[in-house]
Amino acid sequence: MTVSRSPVGFPRISARVRILLWLLVVMAVALGAVAVTVRSILQRDVDHRISKLLTQETGEFANFVPQGVDPDTGGRFETADRLLRIYLQRQYADPDEELLGLTGPAGKEPGVIRQRRDLPRDIALWKDKDSLTRIRDSQDSFGTLQRPQGELRWAKVEIGPSAGGQPGAFVVAFHPERERAVADKTFWMLLALSGIALLMTTGIGWAVAGRILAPVRLVRTTAAELTEQDLTRRIPVEGRDDIAALAETFNAMLDRLERAFAAQRVFVDDAGHELRTPITIVRGHLELMGDDPADREETVRLVTDELDRMSRIVEDLLLLAGAERPDFVRPEPVQLAELTADVFVKVRTLGEREWVLDGVADREVRLDPQRMTQAMVQLAQNAVQHTVPGQRIRIGSRADAGHVELYVADHGPGIPPEDAEVIFERFRRGTSRRGTRTSGAGLGLAIVRAIAEGHHGGVELRRTEGGGATFVLTLETDS
Ligand SMILES: Nc1ncnc2c1ncn2[C@@H]1O[C@H](COP(=O)(O)OP(=O)(O)OP(=O)(O)O)[C@@H](O)[C@H]1O
Ligand SMILES: [Mg+2]
């Protein structure tokens, strides 16, 4: 039995023991109830049988009284004594039964007429004058006597003095102890069998519960052995039950964890790499800086540029790191037309282009206007970076049932299909970069995607008609 301490200090009982204990308690109660019920049914049967027997015996005697004929005289019986004697001679009694005739007037100790029987003397009623007197004097015609020797059920038929000089009574007595004992024996047998069944259940239950719960133990030990460095351990999945499903879920969770940790490592590596480049550049410029004031001025300009770039990267990284937080996006009801117009006004300052407000959707939607503007500005910035002054860049929004789109379309070089997926990943830039190193770190589209997903939407790349790239933010709405 595994008993360890839970953090609160209570002993922790393993699931295996708990399952088994419950099983045993329920079984014990059920088996006990069955045994008790069987016993009471058997006892009731015994009582019924005895009642029937007593009724039958007294009925037979009551019939005999008016019809009986004395074999010696061929006429009616003259005395109760004779009637009882003849009747009893002809009767056959059950092993636990006594048939007796009582004679003599009430108030006196009765005379007893009995059959020759081998009943144990200590329980025989014919010897027990006390009980006989009580039965004879009783007003009832049947009853139960509790004697020290045990219980006794009796019934009697009185014969009035008219049947002969003396009054008399016919008494049937039944000793139920032996029949009761048979019922009790069945009860104890049932209990003993229940005990054996419980023992067997304990053994089998322990083994089966152990087998079923083995994967759970495996999950526990595997989880305990996992470290951030080694997430490669997996639980072998066997069978098709829900425990196997648990193992599968656990393994899937480990897959995700492993991927997340790997992605995090890549992210940190990339971030480090990306930040190292401007540092190297800054150091190089400072080391080579001469005394010439013009040279110094140029160095300061370049160094400030790099530092700006660095601080932008750090800001973007912080923003992306916060994208997992629930309050990253704070939606509120926003007029889409207003938002689109605002964005248009802001992005026009990004560069000398032919900016066009293409179309606005007249619809109220729930979104975070700041984040959405931020995403649109990123897209517009990219569009500016990949176009030359005078080229047309279109901004707009459209809506149809349950669906809203905001887009930025340019007529730049567009994006080769092989880049279509990767450009949305962090620190990934397209392969066909024009000109010299841009100031970007490849975080812009990752931020746009994070904002779109924060709104339960997405970002799509399409081709602009006539060449160029169109980025579309798509959101689902309720209305
Ligand atoms: N409008 C566009 N036209 C052509 N290529 C684009 C356009 N927008 C993005 N790209 C490509 O996608 C890549 C990723 O863009 P992203 O905005 O993520 O990074 P970046 O602009 O290089 O850097 P940052 O946005 O962090 O300053 C770009 O490097 C570029 O190759
Ligand atoms: Mg960008």
| Encoded amino acid at 74, one letter | G
Nearest partner of 394 among 350, 356, 434, 445, judged by Cα? 356
Q: Can you name the residues that pair with 364 across neighbouring β-strands?
A: 335
| Encoded amino acid at 34, one letter | V
- Cβ atoms 170, 60 nearer than 8 A: no
Angle at which helices 80-90 and 15-67 cross, to 10°: 130
| Encoded amino acid at 169, one letter | A
Q: Is residue 81 part of a domain?
A: no
313 and 394 housed in the same domain: no
Chain mean pLDDT for the chain: 88
What digits encode the pLDDT tens for the residues 307-347? 998 998 899 988 988 888 888 999 999 999 999 999 999 99
Q: Is residue 72 part of a domain?
A: no
CATH code of the domain in which 347 resides: 3.30.565.10
**Residue 130 CA, distance from chain mean position:** 69
336 and 366 housed in the same domain: yes
> Is any ligand 1 atom within 6 A of the Cβ of residue 442?
yes
Whether 450 has a pLDDT exceeding 90, the answer reads yes
Atom 28, ligand 1: which residue's CA is nearest?
429
Q: Is residue 222 part of a domain?
A: no
Neighbours of 408 (CB within 10 A): 28
Which pair of structure tokens corresponds to residue 277?
A: 């480049």
Q: In a mutational test of the pocket of ligand 1, which residue from 429, 451, 460, 462 has the highest number of ligand atoms less than 8 Å from its CB?
A: 429
Between strands 364-367 and 332-335, the pairing is antiparallel
349 and 261 housed in the same domain: no
> Is any ligand 1 atom within 6 A of the Cβ of residue 433?
yes
Cα 443 to ligand 2 centre (Å): 7
- Cβ atoms 97, 165 nearer than 8 A: no
355 and 454 housed in the same domain: yes
What digits encode the pLDDT tens for the residues 363-405? 999 999 999 999 999 999 999 999 999 999 999 999 988 899 9
Whether 6 has a pLDDT exceeding 70, the answer reads no
Cα 316 to ligand 2 centre (Å): 11
Beta sheet of 458-463, edge-to-edge order: 354-359, 392-400, 403-410, 469-476, 458-463
Give the number of the ligand closest to the Cα of residue 418.
1
Measured in Å, how far apart are the chain's first and last C-alpha atoms?
59
**Residue 316 CA, distance from chain mean position:** 44
More confident residue, 369 or 75: 369
Whether 8 has a pLDDT exceeding 80, the answer reads no
Atom 5, ligand 1: which residue's CA is nearest?
415
Full DSSP string of 274-307: HHHHHHHHHHHHHHH--S-HHHHHHHHHHHHHHH
Last residue of a domain, one of 303, 322, 341: 322
Last residue of a domain, one of 322, 344, 367: 322
> Is any ligand 1 atom within 6 A of the Cβ of residue 445?
yes
Q: Is residue 149 part of a domain?
A: no
> Is any ligand 1 atom within 6 A of the Cβ of residue 384?
no
Which pair of structure tokens corresponds to residue 222?
A: 């595997």
404 and 309 housed in the same domain: no
Atom 31, ligand 1: which residue's CA is nearest?
430
Whether 163 has a pLDDT exceeding 60, the answer reads no
291 and 373 housed in the same domain: no
Q: Is residue 277 part of a domain?
A: yes
Give the span between the Cα atoms of 426 and 441, in whole angstroms.
Answer: 8
| Encoded amino acid at 422, one letter | V
Cα 391 to ligand 1 centre (Å): 17
Cα 293 to ligand 1 centre (Å): 36
Nearest partner of 165 among 77, 68, 71, 63, judged by Cα? 77
Cα 351 to ligand 1 centre (Å): 16
Give the span between the Cα atoms of 81 and 63, in whole angstroms.
Answer: 17
pLDDT at 424: 92
Nearest partner of 378 among 477, 301, 312, judged by Cα? 312
Q: Can you name the residues that pair with 407 across neighbouring β-strands?
A: 396, 472
pLDDT at 438: 57
Atom 17, ligand 1: which residue's CA is nearest?
444
More confident residue, 72 or 29: 29
pLDDT at 1: 46
Question: Residue 432 is part of which domain span?
Answer: 332-476
Cα 431 to ligand 2 centre (Å): 14
Rounded to 5 degrees, φ, ψ at 432 are -95, 75
Degrees to nearest 5, angle at CA 106 with 101 and 108: 90
Q: List C-alpha distances in Å: 447 to 10, 49, 136.
A: 49, 92, 109
pLDDT at 194: 93
Q: Where does the pLDDT of residue 77 fall: very low under 50, low under 70, confident under 90, or very high at 90 and above?
A: confident
> Is any ligand 1 atom within 6 A of the Cβ of residue 469?
yes
> Is any ligand 1 atom within 6 A of the Cβ of residue 247?
no
pLDDT at 54: 95
Q: Can you name the residues that pair with 394 across neighbouring β-strands?
A: 356, 409
DSSP 351: S
Cα 254 to ligand 1 centre (Å): 33
- Cβ atoms 183, 39 nearer than 8 A: yes
Q: Is residue 186 part of a domain?
A: no
Whether 469 has a pLDDT exceeding 50, the answer reads yes
Q: Is residue 86 part of a domain?
A: no
Task: Return the residue matching tokens 């930025």.
Answer: 408
Give the number of the ligand closest to the Cα of residue 440.
1
> Is any ligand 1 atom within 6 A of the Cβ of residue 410?
yes
413 and 472 housed in the same domain: yes
Q: In a mutational test of the pocket of ligand 1, which residue from 308, 316, 353, 382 has the highest number of ligand atoms less than 8 Å from its CB?
A: 382
375 and 456 housed in the same domain: yes
Atom 7, ligand 1: which residue's CA is nearest?
382
**108: buried, middle or exposed (CB in 10 Å: 19+, 13-18, 0-12)?**
exposed
Number of domains making up the chain:
2
Q: In a mutational test of the pocket of ligand 1, which residue from 277, 353, 423 has the highest number of ligand atoms less than 8 Å from its CB?
A: 423
What's the average model confidence in pLDDT over 42-63?
Answer: 94
Degrees to nearest 5, angle at CA 118 with 117 and 120: 125
Give the number of the ligand closest to the Cα of residue 428.
1
Q: Among 37-41, 227-231, 261-265, 454-458, which stretch is predicted with the lowest mean pLDDT?
A: 227-231
Cα 467 to ligand 1 centre (Å): 17
pLDDT at 41: 94
Cα 405 to ligand 1 centre (Å): 20
Q: Among 57-66, 112-121, 406-415, which stretch is predicted with the lowest mean pLDDT?
A: 112-121
371 and 297 housed in the same domain: no
317 and 249 housed in the same domain: yes
Task: Return the residue matching tokens 């480090």.
Answer: 272
341 and 469 housed in the same domain: yes
What's the average model confidence in pLDDT over 157-176?
Answer: 81
CATH code of the domain in which 253 resides: 1.10.287.130
Last residue of a domain, one of 296, 322, 348: 322
Query: What proportions of the chain, in percent to the nearest 5, are helix, strand and coil?
Result: 55, 20, 30
Cα 426 to ligand 2 centre (Å): 11
What digits encode the pLDDT tens for the residues 346-370? 999 999 999 999 999 999 999 999 9
Q: Is residue 314 part of a domain?
A: yes
353 and 432 housed in the same domain: yes
